[in-house]
Structure 1
């Protein structure tokens, strides 16, 4: 083999080995991305189904949780990284109370409304304190998300050792855009057939009106809701974000609420937190010393694409509701008929055996 052939063969072999290595790395990265996508999608399904089931799946396996009391109070609004922050708090051992918890403990909803009225009119915290004690007795150690965030300051007054976490996005325009997106995506929960399962879901708006004097809006048929089938509705125009002037009102509320928190709370009790900052500021704020966790990626859940997929699936299920009911009825009939046939056959065999 001449010198040129040797170099050519060596180069070809090196290229093949290098290509195989690159393909292996690419395949591994693709597999990791697919696993992350599946994990996000599963999390999105769980999040949405929590509303339908009226059950918050967040929990911790800590028998001493009920003795910890409320430690973290979320002041940030929805779509400011609250669900990613919830995952982080769960990793740190917290049990988080949010809107899904209110639905799960439906008896709490009228108490939240009474507590809001008492606090707004008389600065009376009696009802809120009683409710907070019951929540703590259930093992909850943190609150997050809208509308529970509206109670951040009175709750901080009742629990002076609790830290207040105000989650934010890069700017208010991006936050409202995301808030509007999630309102459109999750709007099907106030439409047929899902509202038949969930029931009345206007208490967040009621609390917003009571505590912040926010103009009351409610999406109604046919102005905001399209009904292509008697059992299937689509929210095409959510009043709470799409009505004229709503963007300006929401951004003004966001800015004013943040300002009030900053003016009321000392710096060591308030953290304005963007999930892009990662673990470090959150761990420092909560007094958690965990270098290994600090180096990890911060949780990222409930991305728009996953929620869009969930919405599409639920729309298909809702639109085909009579078909699913018919299939369920048919299979139940077939199973019952099969059972009756087996019982009849067994009885006939027994009767035949006795005659013999």
Structure 2
């Protein structure tokens, strides 16, 4: 009888551990990823000082891998602190974004973007129409590039390291929170949940750019072709600010992205290892 109770306890514990595994591993790894990899960079980002005019002033509507990270840094330098998809690495911020994205409540967007003057990457292009209604005076920048070059870059970086992580149970446990956000906000909404189909993705990319051009009045829109721009002039002229005496930032190249992905994967593997080791230890104690 005692042995049967022990087996019953072990089975209940193991079943509970398996059910909770994805949530526990993802959340734990999400916070560790933020504190170890993203926070050291993001905490140095310049924010508005008290007393400055509040409200979003710039919306960048271009898809990811169209210079969003470089433009984020450029806008920071120009005095328009930028909210970027990388900010969602902080789980609490990611949760608030998903709430704003799903419900469309202006209060959630205002809370999310408090202290920022611009927004870029998938939090921006996925909700630019809603943001334009909430912040009607904001200028709009459509950052674009050659569709085929865009897909080559996108498929070898973001989709390769997010959508592919859903293929089996081990990788499901390792899926970063950012991958979950990208899946729902980008892949499901734009790519029919198939970001590895070149034709679907390029069609979505092209249609989105055409839609932005139709939706935004020309005098409030800057078409920013990242492969043709070489410096500050176009951006500064549109924002009506002086050209800063520093080089235009060029960041988030493919090699840097791949290194970041490897570091994120290492953190998730470590979390999974600790989780499994903890389960094994508790089971050992049960049977000891």
Alignment TM class, shorter chain as reference:
0.5 to 0.7
Q: Report the equivalent of 2:86.
A: 100
> Structure 1 residues 188, 259: closer, same or farther in 2, change over 3 A?
closer
Are positions 1:302 and 2:255 aligned together?
Answer: no
SS in structure 1 at match of 2:94: coil
2: distance between equivalents of 1:61 and 1:100?
16
Equivalent residues, number: 233
Give the Cα separation in 2 of the matches to 1:315 and 1:197.
9
Deviations 1:165-207 (A, max 9, x none): 11112x1000110111112664499586896594473232223
**Which secondary structure does the structure 2 equivalent of 1:289 belong to?**
coil
* 1:207–1:51 distance in 2 versus 1, CA, 3 Å: farther
Contact 2:97 2:112 in 1 (8 A): no
The CA distance in 2 between the partners of 1:249 and 1:194, in whole Å, is 24
Task: Look up the SS of the partner of 2:179 in the other structure.
Answer: coil
1:83 paired residue number: 69
- What per-residue deviation string (whole Å, max 9, x for no partner) do you get for residues 199-223 of structure 1? 47323222336754x4124xxxxxx
**2:211 is the alignment partner of 1:260:** yes
Cα distance between partner residues in 2 of 1:313 and 1:102: 17
Aligned residues: CA RMSD: 3.5
Higher Cα Rg, which structure: 1
CA distance in 2, matches of 1:314, 1:282: 33
Q: TM-score, normalised by structure 2?
A: 0.67
Provide the rounded CA distance (Å) in 2 between the counterparts of 1:69 and 1:185: 35
Partner residue, 2:106: 129
- 1:57 and 2:42 aligned: yes
**Cα deviation 1:208-243 (Å, max 9, x = unaligned):** 36754x4124xxxxxxxxxxxxxxxxxxxxxx22xx
Residue aligning to 2:179 = 201
The equivalent of 1:3 in structure 2 is: none
Match of residue 158, structure 2, among 183, 191, 199: 183
Q: Which residue of 2 aligns with 1:142?
A: 118
- Which runs of 5 or more structure 2 residues have no equivalent in the other structure? 1-31, 275-288
Shift of the 101–312 alpha-carbon distance from structure 1 to 2, 3 Å rule, reads closer
Q: Which residue of structure 2 aligns with residue 282 of structure 1?
A: 235
Distance 1:66 1:98, change over 3 A: farther
Report the equivalent of 1:20: none
Matches within 5 A, 1:288-327: 288-290=241-243, 292-293=244-245, 296-312=246-262, 321=270
1:111 aligns with 2:99: yes
Q: Does 1:215 align with 2:215?
A: no
Q: Conserved in 1, the CA contact under 8 Å of 2:141 and 2:222?
A: yes
Could you say what secondary structure the match of 1:166 adopts? Answer: strand
Which of 166, 171, 195 aligns to 2:142? It is 166
* Secondary structure of 1:301 counterpart: coil
Structure 1 residue 272 and structure 2 residue 223: aligned? yes
Once residues 150 and 52 of structure 2 are traced to their aligned partners in structure 1, the CA distance between those partners, rounded to angstroms, is 34
Give TM-score, length-normalised by structure 1. Answer: 0.56
Q: Secondary structure at the match of 1:164?
A: strand
Alpha-carbon deviations, 1:20-41, whole Å to 9, x = none? Answer: xxxxxxxxxxxxxxxxxxxxxx
Q: Any idea what the Cα deviations from partners look like across 1:41-87, whole Å, max 9, x if unmatched? A: xxxxxxx9549767571531532377421011110011101111111
